[in-house]
Structure 1
Amino acid sequence: MHFKPWLVYLVIGFLGLVPLLMALLAGAVANWAKCELSEASVGPCVIGGRDVGKVLYTMFVSGWFSLITLPAALLAMMIYSVYLLVRR
C-alpha cells in the first residue's frame, strides 16, 4: 500500500504533538472554568456539576511526555525521509 508522504508526515507530527496539545487543552479548560491547575497536586474543578480536577491534572502532566514524543516524531520523520530517498 502506498501512502502520500505529506499524510505520513502529518500523522507522525500529530502523534508527536498529542501530549503537548493535551496539556494546552487542560490549561485552556481550567482557565475557562476558573480553576487552579498545578503539576504539584490535583485541585478541585467543578464543571457541569462534576469534579474534573483529576482529569485536567492528568492531561496537564501528560505534557511532559512531549519531551519523548517530539524528538521521536522528528526521528521518525528523518527515517521516513531517508526511506523515501532510498526508494527513489
Structure 2
Amino acid sequence: MTEAHVEMVTAMIDFPGGSRHRLAWRYGLALVAITFFAFLPLLSLFAASLVASANSCTLDEGNPHPCLILGSDAGQTLYNMAVGGWLMIFTLPIGAGLFVLWLLVLVVHSWRRRKRPSFD
C-alpha cells in the first residue's frame, strides 16, 4: 500500500477526538492497575475473613486456628491470607509513588498536547 492509501485508511478508522478517547482510556487503565496493585493485600484479607466467617472459623493474626472446609483444614491458608494484609505496608507507599508519577506524566502530557498547534 502506498502512503496515500495508509493515510486514507487511517482517516476512515480514526474519528475526530479518537486519539483523545484512547489516551483517556490508557490513563484510566493505568490508574486502575495502580490502585489494584496498592490494595491487593486488602483483597486477600477480605477474602480470608469472608471464607472464615462463612464457615464459622476463628481468624486472627496471632496464630492459625483449625478451620474445616469440605473436610479439609484450611486454617493455615486462611491465616496466611489474613497476615498477607500486612503487605499493604509496602504496596500502599509504592502505589502512592506510582500515583504521583502517573499524575506528573498526565499533567506534562496534557500541557504538551495543549501547546502543540492543531492542523484542523
* Structure 1 length-normalised TM: 0.91
Q: CA RMSD in A?
A: 1.3
Asked whether 1:10 is paired with 2:8, we answer no
- Indicate whether 1:23 and 2:45 are aligned: yes
Q: Residue type of the partner of 2:28?
A: W
Shift of 1:17: 0.6
Q: What letter matches 1:56 in structure 2? A: L
Q: For the residues of structure 2 that align with 1:19 and 1:73, how far apart are their CA atoms?
A: 12
Q: Structure 2 regions of 5+ residues with no counterpart?
A: 1-22, 113-120
Calculate percent identity across the aligned residue pairs. 34
AA paired with 1:66?
A: M
Tell me, what secondary structure is at the counterpart of 1:44? coil
Larger radius of gyration: 2
Higher relative contact order (CA 8 A, sep 6+): 1
Q: Which runs of 5+ in 1 are unaligned?
A: none
**Distance (Å, rounded) in 1 between the aligned partners of 2:50 and 2:89:** 21
Runs of 4+ that moved beyond 6 A: none
Aligned residues: 87
Aligned match of 2:66: 44
Give TM-score, length-normalised by structure 2: 0.68
